Amino acid sequence: PNQESVQQIIVTSASYNAEQGRNSGAQIEVISKGGSNNYHGSGLIKFNDKGLNAFNKFYGANNIPLSQITCEGGAFKIVAQHCPTRNDQKYRDFAGSLGGPVIKNKLFFFFSYEGLRQTNTVVSRSVKLETPAFEKYVQQAEPNSIAAKIFSTPGIAPRITTTLSQTDCCSLITSPSDPNYHPLGTWYQPGIGIGQAVGNGPDGTTDWGLFDLTKPNSSSGNQYNARADYTLGANQFFASTYLVNLTSVNGGNRPLEDVGFAPKNYVGTLGWTRTISSVMVNEARFNFTRFAFDQLQPTGQTNYGIPQIELFDFDAGGLGDAGTIMGIGQAGTTPGNLAENTFAFRDTVSWVHGVHAFKFGVDITREQNNDDEPGFERPKYQFRGLLNFANDACCFFENVAVDPNTGGHPNGRRYFRDAAYSLFVQDDWKLRPNLTVNLGLRWEYFAPLSEKNGLLSNYIFGSQGFVNGSVQRVTKLYNADKKDFGPRIGFAWSPNVLGKKTVLRGGFGILFNRPFESEYSNIRQDTPFAAQASTCCFFDPGKITGPPPGSGILYGIGSSTSATSYAPNPNFSFGVAPDGALCANAGCTAVTKVDIFGALPNEPTPYVYVYSLQTQFEPIHNWQATIGYQGSRSRKLARTIDLNRFHPGDTFDGNMDGVQSASADGVACGSTNPACPAPIVVGNNRFNRVFIPFPDVNASFDALITQLSHSFAGGFTISTLYTWSHSIDFSSYEIGFQQTDPFTQSIDKGNSDFDVRQSLGISGYYERPLYRGRHDLMGAIAGGWTLGAVFTKHTGFSFTPLIGSCDTNHDLNGDGACPDMPIVYAGGKIANPSKQDWQNGVFTSIAASFPGSTTVPPASHGPGCRCRNIFEGPGFTQLDLSFGKNFLLPNSRVLGENAKLEFRSNFFNALNILNLESLAPATAPTDVVNAGQFGRPLDGLSGRVIEFQLRLSF
């Protein structure tokens, strides 16, 4: 809802009310505004401009050779590694509301509107791309190549604002008379180091470089809200609706990578409250929500006909980072055509019986996700070096979704269905005037995912478990829990002996969490309806022409800007085998390995034990203090893992074939090898990756929460909140980046990704008491002045050292996948680093801190160290200020007696304190092997931002 339609927001961090369910954690209750017998309304204008904002103080490392760089498109020059940035935003927000009677005491209306117009830019640091000179060189040297066509496509030029470095590495060998002639499509061998000669070597033309890019974003949206309330005797009815239209563009590194997003969101609600008697009330509510957008027809220069193209190494030997050089990132919903509907019904009966206040109710929610996600039908390619891309020498790797029977585009639309059903009873029992006990019980059932037209399949374990499983059609994805009963108990007690100045509160409850559908939505890519075909990996195929033999790769670009304009691949058109594997030939004597997504046959519901104890008291007159403990223990949380790498050891013999044929020291399995007496089948070699959520993650959270507040005479109030907390888990998210060694989950027990150990917040508000509430000239000039301040300080988020490269030299646990934990952490992190230390890198020698990471000796093979989130990242400090002036308007028939005009200026990060980005999970190039970027934030957070606001209320 827009801010003008909100009457009140109630946030509950620890609730023991059985009315609230579906998920644990904080509960947010929003109460919307309605009409009344008096006309009331508001108007708002809020704006912010780039020129009001300050540059942050992030200049990068100062312990390396520096040169002068140009910033802000030539506005100024500095000697630094990076240009500072500011919040480059033009923001306009305007809103209004009006409510009142249609028929007094009977029928009321309320309407509100909010509009948003926003443009801003985002800076990407140290992006590795080809140079403009190389683009021209390729078009001249190989004008008939696909690379030349790509480089001549409108919108291909990168949005470069700062050039950090450039390298001349290589040149094509295009003369047939040259004994090393490489015709179009022929592979070049990579060099062995940065700047190493490739092809004909350096030719005086810079080929690639490191650049800072500035990407434009824009948003334009309108939201409309209408509500009507009607009273008829003992019945009260209301109807409300929200309609949101938004158009936004997220800018890419190149104009053709801009992604438009224009969703439509609609919410409709009907409510009926029936007063049955003086002690009994029935409340019924029905909701309908729809979210939809269609990206299938690109606009502007957006071009889905250019595939996502990644390069390994550019010109460096070995496996460096696989960086996207061009093309919109491949994702199922990019582009997408989504239509998602939610129907919800709730009925609650409230009954006061003596000292008991009972509530009984039912919640029913049904969801329809009618989504078409064709994004994976647009291929992703990886080339071994920049020169191979220029010469159309494809490819090291390809990933694309296909129809197994045609090799073309699969039917990406699925009509997924799920539902949630709940029953609850709550008793708020006032045992004594100073003691209330809350007793509740809630039953919940989360129905398993199904598909309206039967287009649903799952990976079914075989007689030997996972290793001989198959993909089969199913009517529902899994069997859901039906025994989810969650009791809750809470209390509030004010001991008389403490003079009614102290309240004790506490409670315990079991709360169940609805599984996220996103854990399973990728099953739309499963055979036999579709296939996520991946072909990998061809490191040094020699001087061959075109894709490596047997790879099945078809390299090309789209015939238009549409994601569905790519030619079918006949190599992926031979259907599927009985076990669901994608056939690689007409006789299906070989298979092309595909990714599979599924679920276990029985999926338990994740649940959380929550508990708290808090005391609130008045230590001194007009001072309020709170000391409390809050904790939780989570059970059966999911981690989505690739079962084909669940058992490590596959690559100890140098091959990834689903069989462990050697022990960690490289010795072949056999009767004379006690570490591996016989080869072990560790995976299903007929498939690539098989992703299945495993409900075996535990988590814990404990927090000490203290608060002290005081209202001074003269209109000043202050409040201080300090929290010491610790969150521990084995995996912080259900999907996305998961564990380095799923088999040895114990090494991943550590601080949660979102763990912040200490947090301090101090807020104050002052309203000048003189001439307050006066409508005359002195009140307009001297009255109504306000000042607010919020100071925030917290310790940093944790981060993890990782080996990001995926070749056999770095595959520590032998599962054929990366990243892996390093062997050991030997120390070397700077103690109490300054912000400049962070920019320089907080490890004096990464190689010394993580010995053996460059080349893993056989004796060190294994799961690695227990190093997840062992380092604390840079902290955060900020002071926000707000200045305001209220003008009371003269009484009038139109605006009433309490109309006022408020002007407010907000200063976020008023002191322009430098705060640094958190360090994300380290993969190449920010891991402990590549580029020396580990332990170094890539950018700073926003500097000072100023906004102004003018509000009319009556």
Average pLDDT over residues 222-232: 93
Mean pLDDT lowest among 238-242, 327-331, 699-703 = 238-242
Domain 3-53+88-603, CATH number (from 2.40.170, 3.30.70, 1.10.10, 3.40.1130): 2.40.170
Give phi and psi for 292, each to the nearest 5.
Answer: -150, 145
Question: Kindly report the CA angle at 631 between 741 and 507, in degrees rounded to 5?
Answer: 145
Average pLDDT over residues 451-467: 95
For residues 684 and 645, what is the distance between their CA atoms, to the nearest angstrom? 10
Mean pLDDT lowest among 419-433, 467-481, 545-559 = 545-559
In 3-state terms, what secondary structure has residue 919? coil
pLDDT of residue 315: 65
For residues 688 and 402, what is the distance between their CA atoms, to the nearest angstrom? 15
Q: Using only C-alpha atoms, what is the Rg of the chain?
A: 31
Q: How confident is the model at residue 921 (pLDDT cuts 50, 70, 90)?
A: low
Residue type, 673: N
For residues 311 and 302, what is the distance between their CA atoms, to the nearest angstrom? 22
Give the model confidence (pLDDT) of 850-883 as tens digits: 887 777 666 678 888 899 999 999 999 999 999 9
Cβ-proximal residues to 558 (8 Å cutoff; 6+ apart), any chain = 304, 305, 306, 307, 378, 565, 566
Return left, alpha or beta for 454; rule: phi > 0 is left, psi -120 to 50 is alpha, else beta. Answer: left
Question: Kindly report the CA angle at 849 between 844 and 852, in degrees rounded to 5?
Answer: 135
Average pLDDT over residues 30-54: 92
Return left, alpha or beta for 578; rule: phi > 0 is left, psi -120 to 50 is alpha, else beta. Answer: alpha
For residues 592 and 571, what is the distance between their CA atoms, to the nearest angstrom? 9
For residues 456 and 472, what is the distance between their CA atoms, to the nearest angstrom? 9
pLDDT of residue 58: 95
Give the model confidence (pLDDT) of 47-74 as tens digits: 999 999 999 999 999 998 998 988 887 8
DSSP β-bridge partners for residue 269: 240, 287
Return the closest-CA partner of residue 328 out of 349, 302, 354, 351: 302
Q: How confident is the model at residue 97 (pLDDT cuts 50, 70, 90)?
A: very high
Which two structure tokens, joined as six digits, stand for 921?
A: 């999970």
Give the model confidence (pLDDT) of 367-398 as tens digits: 999 999 999 999 999 988 888 899 998 888 89
Question: Percentage of the chain with pLDDT > 70?
Answer: 95
Mean pLDDT lowest among 132-141, 354-363, 696-705, 795-804 = 795-804
Average pLDDT over residues 738-755: 88
* pLDDT tops 80 at residue 351: yes
For residues 25 and 490, what is the distance between their CA atoms, to the nearest angstrom? 16
Which two structure tokens, joined as six digits, stand for 368?
A: 């329809």
Give the model confidence (pLDDT) of 11-28 as tens digits: 877 779 999 887 887 778
Q: How confident is the model at residue 536 (pLDDT cuts 50, 70, 90)?
A: confident
In 3-state terms, what secondary structure has residue 518? helix
Contact status, residue 306 vs residue 327, Cβ threshold 8 Å: yes
Q: How confident is the model at residue 925 (pLDDT cuts 50, 70, 90)?
A: low
Contact status, residue 734 vs residue 640, Cβ threshold 8 Å: yes
For residues 700 and 513, what is the distance between their CA atoms, to the nearest angstrom? 15
Cβ-proximal residues to 576 (8 Å cutoff; 6+ apart), any chain = 404, 471, 527, 528, 531, 582, 583
Give the model confidence (pLDDT) of 280-303 as tens digits: 999 999 999 999 999 998 888 999
pLDDT of residue 780: 73
Which two structure tokens, joined as six digits, stand for 77?
A: 């020059």
Which two structure tokens, joined as six digits, stand for 71?
A: 């910033």
Give the model confidence (pLDDT) of 599-656 as tens digits: 999 999 999 999 999 999 999 888 999 999 999 999 999 999 898 887 888 888 888 7
Q: How confident is the model at residue 805 (pLDDT cuts 50, 70, 90)?
A: low
Give the model confidence (pLDDT) of 121-130 as tens digits: 988 888 889 9
Cis amide linkage into residue 395, ω under 30° from 0: yes
Q: Is the dihedral of CA 320, 326, 328, 330 positive or negative?
A: negative
pLDDT of residue 737: 65
DSSP per position, 574-623 = S-B-TTSPEESSTT-SSEE-EEEE---SEEPPPEEEEEEEEEEE-SSTTE
Average pLDDT over residues 479-487: 95
In 3-state terms, what secondary structure has residue 521? helix
Average pLDDT over residues 923-942: 78
pLDDT of residue 200: 83
Contact status, residue 421 vs residue 364, Cβ threshold 8 Å: yes
Question: Percentage of the chain with pLDDT > 90?
Answer: 63
In 3-state terms, what secondary structure has residue 216? strand
Contact status, residue 261 vs residue 249, Cβ threshold 8 Å: yes
Q: How confident is the model at residue 915 (pLDDT cuts 50, 70, 90)?
A: very high
Give phi and psi for 910, each to the nearest 5.
Answer: -60, -35
Question: Kindly report the CA angle at 460 between 454 and 462, in degrees rounded to 5?
Answer: 145
Average pLDDT over residues 712-722: 92
Give phi and psi for 165, each to the nearest 5.
Answer: -165, 160
The model's pTM is: 0.89
For residues 843 and 632, what is the distance between their CA atoms, to the nearest angstrom? 35
* pLDDT tops 60 at residue 194: no
Contact status, residue 118 vs residue 94, Cβ threshold 8 Å: no
